[in-house]
Amino acid sequence: MKYPTMLLLVLLASSCGKKPEAASETTDSPGALAETTEKAQAPASAPNEVILSAEEQRLGGIQVGAISRRALGQGLKVNGVLDVPPDQLASVSTPLGGFVDRTALLQGTRVRKGEVLATIRNPDFAQLQQDYLETRSQLTYAKAEYERQAELYRQEVAPQKNFQRAQAEYQGLQAKSEAQAARLRASGLPVGGTIVTTAALRAPVSGFVKSVNVTVGQSVTPTDVLFEIVDPEHLHVELTVFEKDVPQLHKNQLVRFTLSNDPPGTERTARVYLISRAISDERTVRVHAHLDQEDHALLPGTFVRAIIETNRATVPTVPEKAVVQFEGRHYIYMANKQAGRYRMVEVQPGVSEDGYTAIQLPANAMADSARLVLEGAYSLLAKMKNNEAEEE
């Protein structure tokens, strides 16, 4: 009975001796020790912070720099259209009524001043030319009679009243002839020569045909507008400004505008030259601005979005790509002193110009000494949102 008891005691002692050794092996394992140390040294990030390794910063194209101060314009956002001055827009009508005999014009056709737009047929044209030719014939006789009476009066052979009567008749026919000739020219009819029943309707200005309101065979009157011609050589911007904003306007203000068909980033400039003094029923005022650079490819009536600069000030600015938008708010990323750690800061963006945006920083951020992410801000935003998704 002694031997089994002694064997049991030896086994129990052996078992108790092995347990501390196993625990020691588990605790002293190199992998476990490194893992425990790494967890203890890993920095914890705040909800509005993101931490990147050196490799992640390189792949994300992170570039850090200082906030710059630039002179940017602050102004009114308005809408308008491209328009032409009244002397560059012509409505063409026929001086005399008739029927459209021929026209080959289409909308958008370019015409030169004096070019024939259409021919108008009217039998009464023949009567106008006949009257002129008859007057010219009478004028020839009246001139000869006037010269004869003048010679007789000089020789004291004929009384003075005969000379005066011939002189009045000659001058009257001369005035009548000139008036008839002017009417023929205005109507597009030949002055003298062969009598015709068609008149040429010519372009009063050079430009493009804006509208064609007639067809061949149509009856027209002097009050009908047959064609509209626009000369786009001197387009201007016509803007609509609300009554309350008029006191901020003055001549020569800079206008920055874009067209709906312009490529992204394209911006054009103009200068205010006229501010209307009449307020419309919609409580708005028309403002006209001359283009700084003429562009013959522009079309009248094109819709524009514009900013009238009312003030130009030096403000803190960042590149446009440094500002990220998330859930309707705007943010930038500030670089902490510890490398690889970036903090999201909400800002109020202002006017944008030449690739830079004015921002209003919180009171606790120093605009002149702050270091922020100039490039790669959206990479940080994506990293932050991925971290939040993993935690959930």
**59-101 pLDDT, tens per residue?**
888 888 888 887 776 778 899 999 888 878 889 999 888 999 9
| Per-residue model confidence as pLDDT tens digits over 356-384 | 888 877 766 655 556 888 888 888 888 77
Q: Which residues of 185-198 are buried (b: 16+ CB within 10 A; e: fewer)?
A: eebbbeeeeeeebe
Which CATH fold topology does 76-86+232-313 show? Elongation Factor Tu (Ef-tu); domain 3 (2.40.30)
pTM above 0.75, yes or no: no
Q: Where are the domains of the chain?
A: 49-72+314-391, 76-86+232-313, 90-123+197-231, 125-194
Query: What number is the average pLDDT over the span 208-231?
Result: 91
Do the domains at 76-86+232-313 and 90-123+197-231 have one common CATH topology?
no
* Class of the CATH-defined domain 49-72+314-391: mainly beta
Span 194-219, pLDDT tens digits: 899 999 999 998 888 988 999 999 99
The CATH-assigned architecture of domain 90-123+197-231 is: Beta Barrel (2.40)
For residues 360 and 346, give the distance between their C-alpha atoms in angstroms, rounded to a whole number. 9
127 pLDDT more than 70: yes
